[in-house]
Amino acid sequence: MSSPRSDRLDALRGAAIVWMAGYHFSFDLNHFGWIRQDFYRDPVWTWQRTCIVSLFLFCAGGGQALAMAAGQRPGRFWRRWAQVAGCALLVTAGSWFMFPLSWISFGVLHGIALMLVLLRLGLARLPDALLLALAALAVALPQFAQHPFFDTRWTDWIGLITEKPITEDYVPVLPWLAPMLLGFVVTRRWPGLWQGRAPRPLAVLGRWSLCFYMFHQPMLIGLLMAVQTVR
């Protein structure tokens, strides 16, 4: 069985991680009052978040296409999935401690965990054209099919909300399934895009993306708290 990894895809994920770290560092500076920015409404920040999350989901979809093409066994998939899902629960617990009024019930890791299951257990069997149509539908539905039923923490993970929930991270299935499906289709149709060399530091970082994601914010926050203490 060939390796499902690609240095180029890992490097793209690594670039998203570097971008994310810079975004979160700026967010933390704002949280501690060192800068004044509106991360929830200013397009400078909201569009950055959209691009970062889209890159992560695109890479997750591409990674699944490579893994399935390489014949990845179900056991290996579910072990990795359990790591993602477990980290999602840790994010929920940590966010509740730090942001009790805006804790994360369905953020990027929660979204990735659920969407990977949808992709692996059914969507991956569909033809590319249908997947692209579903991606377009995933983007369109939240614009035209909102209902107050979906405005609770028990149902907002679907994405058909009438009002954005008060939370520090929110990545519902709709519309965010779209970039994952796009990454899957692009990689399945043109796997050669990911063959060849890539910047080694970014590729290595991309291979350890989950670990970096889980540890970078506690480290950044701890560093800023230490600096603030000695100032």
Q: For residue range 94-120, what is the model confidence (pLDDT) as tens digits? A: 999 888 989 999 999 999 999 999 999
Q: How far apart are CA 59 and CA 55, in angstroms?
A: 6
pLDDT classification of 32: cutoffs 50, 70, 90: confident
Cross-strand partners of 170: 106
Return phi, psi of residue 3, to 5°. Answer: -75, 135
CB 184 within 8 A of CB 131: yes
Q: Please, what is the angle between helix 209-230 and helix 7-31, to 10°?
A: 30
pLDDT classification of 126: cutoffs 50, 70, 90: very high
Q: For residue range 159-209, what is the model confidence (pLDDT) as tens digits? A: 999 999 999 899 999 999 999 999 999 999 999 999 989 999 999 999 999
Every domain of the chain and the residues it spans:
7-230
Q: How far apart are CA 75 and CA 215, in angstroms?
A: 26
Task: Collect contacts of 138-147 with beta carbons under 8 A, ≥24 apart.
Answer: 138/173, 138/174, 138/175, 138/176, 138/177, 138/178, 138/181, 139/175, 139/178, 141/174, 141/175, 142/172, 142/174, 142/175
Per-residue model confidence (pLDDT) at position 1: 47
pTM value?
Answer: 0.93
DSSP for 132-174 reads: HHHHHHHHHHHHH---GGG-STTTTTS---SS--S-S-B--HH
| CA dihedral of residues 51, 55, 57, 60 (deg, nearest 10) | -170
Mean pLDDT of the chain: 93
